[in-house]
């Protein structure tokens, strides 16, 4: 569908993962003009990420995610949704102007309604050596495997918590790499307790058991209730050291286990990427079960700012299928709010989606408990460990700032520059807030970083376009 006016639409959706794609499709089916923006070249998001042009997945290695991703992309292509890929949104303002750097330069999009569907980012609690080359995020490893067809190293350790552990380790084995060990913060008892919830999605449970069997066949050692305590190596990762931990992730003494490895893929859960709702000053609340600070929403994703909807893992970490259903609900709600779906039809359609979402909650809860934050890990960080790698801020510098009076996360940022680097605190934010919470009492009191543009690093040249310094008008000085 062509937009009524260039860059104007009834609805802009940011993020083309399962949540954003479903919102865009539901709204456009109801007659709204919809622009769907994503910094990736193709729709799909993290879980259904498309391989780049020229790199196809060989038939023997295709999994259910590849088929679901192809179906999502075909759905968008066949719809009237205006798809704009490689569009990096760096600012959202007013009600609503969306600025994105696209292959054509900086472009602004306008709509009275906006869906934020920007997904999650990783939580990674630092330890000595975590900034060495060869150490990457667990979820980041899925990107490497899916979008580049690459394994993290010749011999990898895979560590952290949650189902991504087995997924990444098994995919490395299938791709021909060696996995020295899987180091899991959870114990067998945690997995057994999660089983009834996981069994609510038999397809995913079967997939998980398939991964476990692959690891068993490759004789990969699995260390339950262990955490990585150090990465050693002169210049890069050469050896990963793991230690037994208690249920809260606190090292509890006992024998250390060292593994020769040139790569470590490690992650401690996911955090909602709620930067857009924070930027637009929507109300948020701290919900550990949903991954941390999340926008306050009604059952349809409506936020406290009129016309703003938040869906998927960017609003509450719950997984791909709940993300899709929450997106569908918000798309329907946007169309209803715009007067395109009468109340009765809206309620009828929404009821069946909401029933599907309710069926997912036991599964999402079980995964959420496996990936829950373990505050004791933050407590155990050594003083000289770097927390903010962009600005090189250590734990002891953070402690000094707290001793000097920093009481919330924004004060801490002003005192130390922690969170001011190119990642805008996505990497260090959780740990810095956790350290502060140990002193001030709770994450609620610590608060969250005030949303600020740019949401993503963008080159100034892309924002300014081509210009010559001689063309800049110099005002005549005022007479004295
Ligand atoms: C790195 C990573 C890898 C993951 N891999 C897997 C996996 O392999 N399997 C699995 O089951 N789950 C995976 N997950 C969890 C998974 O992301 C979710 O359960 C599911 O994809 C959530 O769907 P969503 O639509 O909410 O978000 P996503 O699928 O994350 O989609 C969000 C989209 O928003 C886009 N976006 C964000 N900010 C901007 C911006 N400023 N400008 C433009 N576009 C933007 C992103 O490019 C992305 O395509 C992963 C999570 C992460 C963080």
Q: Is residue 226 scored above 60 in pLDDT?
A: yes
Specify the residue with its C-alpha closest to ligand 1, atom 49: 45
* DSSP H or E segment with residue 219: none
Which of 69, 85, 119, when mutated, tests ligand 1's pocket best, judged by the most ligand atoms within 8 Å of its CB?
Answer: 119
157 within ligand 1 shell (Cβ under 6 A): no
- What is the pTM for the complete model shown? 0.93
Which of 26, 36, 47, when mutated, tests ligand 1's pocket best, judged by the most ligand atoms within 8 Å of its CB?
Answer: 47
Of the candidates 277, 270, 271, the residue with the CA atom closest to the CA atom of residue 455:
277
Domain with CATH 3.50.50.60 in the chain: 11-121+271-341, 124-268
45 within ligand 1 shell (Cβ under 6 A): yes
- 396-423 CB burial, b ≥16 within 10 A, e <16: ebbbebbeeebeebebbbebbebbbbeb
Pairing mode, if any, of strands 239-244 and 257-260?
A: antiparallel
How far apart are alpha carbons 312 and 381 in whole angstroms? Answer: 31
Q: Is residue 85 scored above 60 in pLDDT?
A: yes
Q: Please determine, looking at this structure, whether the domain spanning 11-121+271-341 carries the CATH number 3.50.50.60.
A: yes
Q: 172 by DSSP, 3-state: which?
A: helix
Confidence label for 425 from pLDDT (cuts 50, 70 and 90) = very high
Answer yes or no: are the C-beta atoms of 233 and 129 closer than 8 Å.
yes
Q: Is residue 3 scored above 60 in pLDDT?
A: no
401 within ligand 1 shell (Cβ under 6 A): no
Q: Is residue 80 scored above 80 in pLDDT?
A: yes
In the reported structure, the alpha carbon of residue 47 is separated from the centroid of ligand 1 by a whole-number distance in angstroms of 6
Q: Is residue 5 scored above 80 in pLDDT?
A: no
Specify the residue with its C-alpha closest to ligand 1, atom 2: 139
How far apart are alpha carbons 108 and 146 in whole angstroms? Answer: 31
Q: Please determine, looking at this structure, whether the domain spanning 124-268 carries the CATH number 1.10.3720.10.
A: no
pLDDT digits (tens, 9 = 90+) for 278-330: 999 999 999 998 999 999 999 999 999 999 999 999 999 999 999 999 999 99
321 within ligand 1 shell (Cβ under 6 A): no
How far apart are alpha carbons 225 and 216 in whole angstroms? Answer: 18
Enumerate the β-bridge partners of residue 241: 230, 258
In the reported structure, the alpha carbon of residue 473 is separated from the centroid of ligand 1 by a whole-number distance in angstroms of 44
Helices (H), 97-237: 138-147, 164-174, 188-198, 202-217
Q: Is residue 381 scored above 70 in pLDDT?
A: yes
In the 3-class helix/strand/coil scheme, how is 128-160 assigned residue by residue?
A: CCCCCCCEEEHHHHHHHHHHCCCCCCCEEEEEE
Which pLDDT does position 26 carry in this prediction?
98
Phi-psi region of 88 (alpha: psi -120 to 50; beta: other; left: phi over 0): beta
How far apart are alpha carbons 175 and 376 in whole angstroms? Answer: 35
Angle 188-198/343-370 helices, nearest 10 degrees?
160
168 within ligand 1 shell (Cβ under 6 A): no
How far apart are alpha carbons 95 and 101 in whole angstroms? Answer: 19
Enumerate the β-bridge partners of residue 39: none
Which pLDDT does position 4 carry in this prediction?
54
Which pLDDT does position 196 carry in this prediction?
94
What are 198's two structure tokens? Answer: 């996981």
Mean pLDDT of 331-354: 96
How far apart are alpha carbons 426 and 279 in whole angstroms? Answer: 14
CATH homologous superfamily of domain 381-446?
A: BFD-like [2Fe-2S]-binding domain (1.10.10.1100)
Which pLDDT does position 6 carry in this prediction?
64
Burial degree of 359 (CB within 10 A; 0-12, 13-18, 19+): middle
Which pLDDT does position 375 carry in this prediction?
84
Specify the residue with its C-alpha closest to ligand 1, atom 19: 319
In the reported structure, the alpha carbon of residue 118 is separated from the centroid of ligand 1 by a whole-number distance in angstroms of 7
How far apart are alpha carbons 314 and 291 in whole angstroms? Answer: 10
Specify the residue with its C-alpha closest to ligand 1, atom 9: 47
270 within ligand 1 shell (Cβ under 6 A): yes
Confidence label for 53 from pLDDT (cuts 50, 70 and 90) = confident
Specify the residue with its C-alpha closest to ligand 1, atom 20: 320
Mean pLDDT of the chain: 93
């Amino acid at each position: 569908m062509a937009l009524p006016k260039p860059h104007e639409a009834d609805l802009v959706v940011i993020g083309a993962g399962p949540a954003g794609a479903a919102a865009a499709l539901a709204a456009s089916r109801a007659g709204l003009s919809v622009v769907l923006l994503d910094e990736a070249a193709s729709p799909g998001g993290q879980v259904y990420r498309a391989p780049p042009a020229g790199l196809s997945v060989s038939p023997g290695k295709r999994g259910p995610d590849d088929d679901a991703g192809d179906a999502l992309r075909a759905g968008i292509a066949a719809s009237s949704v205006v798809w704009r890929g490689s569009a990096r949104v760096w600012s959202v303002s007013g009600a609503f102007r969306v600025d994105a750097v696209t292959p054509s330069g900086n472009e602004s999009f306008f709509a009275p309604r906006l869906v934020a569907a920007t997904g999650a980012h990783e939580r990674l609690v630092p330890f000595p050596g975590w900034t060495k080359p060869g150490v990457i995020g667990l979820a980041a490893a899925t990107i490497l495997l899916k979008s580049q067809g690459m394994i993290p190293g010749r011999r990898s350790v895979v560590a952290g918590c949650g189902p991504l552990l087995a997924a990444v380790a098994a995919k490395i084995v299938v791709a021909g790499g060696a996995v020295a060990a899987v180091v899991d913060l959870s114990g067998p008892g945690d997995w057994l307790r999660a089983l009834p919830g996981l069994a609510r999605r038999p397809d995913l449970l079967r997939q998980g058991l398939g991964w476990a069997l692959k690891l068993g066949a490759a004789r990969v050692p699995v260390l339950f209730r262990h955490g990585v305590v150090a990465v050693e190596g002169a210049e890069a990762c050469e050896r990963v050291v793991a230690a037994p931990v208690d249920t809260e992730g606190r090292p509890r003494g006992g024998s250390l286990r060292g593994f020769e490895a040139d790569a470590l893929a490690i992650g401690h859960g996911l955090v909602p990427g709620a930067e857009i709702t924070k930027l637009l000053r929507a109300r948020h609340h701290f919900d550990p079960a949903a991954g941390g600070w999340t926008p306050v929403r009604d059952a349809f994703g409506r936020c406290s700012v009129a016309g703003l909807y938040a869906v998927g893992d960017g609003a509450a970490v719950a997984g791909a299928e709940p993300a899709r259903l929450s997106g569908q609900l918000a798309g329907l709600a946007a169309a209803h709010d715009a007067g395109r779906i009468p109340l009765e039809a809206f309620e009828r359609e929404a009821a069946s989606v909401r029933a599907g979402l309710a069926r997912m909650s036991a599964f999402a809860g079980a995964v959420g408990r496996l990936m829950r934050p373990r505050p004791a890990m933050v407590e155990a960080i050594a003083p000289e460990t770097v927390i903010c790698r962009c600005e090189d801020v250590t734990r002891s510098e953070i402690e000094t700032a707290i001793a000097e009076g920093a009481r919330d996360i924004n004060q801490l940022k002003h005192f130390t520059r922690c969170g001011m680097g190119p990642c805008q605190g996505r990497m260090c934010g959780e740990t810095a807030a956790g350290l502060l919470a140990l002193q001030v009492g709770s994450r609620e009191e610590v608060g969250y970083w005030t949303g600020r543009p740019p949401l993503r690093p963008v080159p100034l040249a892309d924002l300014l376009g081509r210009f010559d310094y001689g063309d800049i008008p110099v005002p005549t000085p005022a007479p004295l």
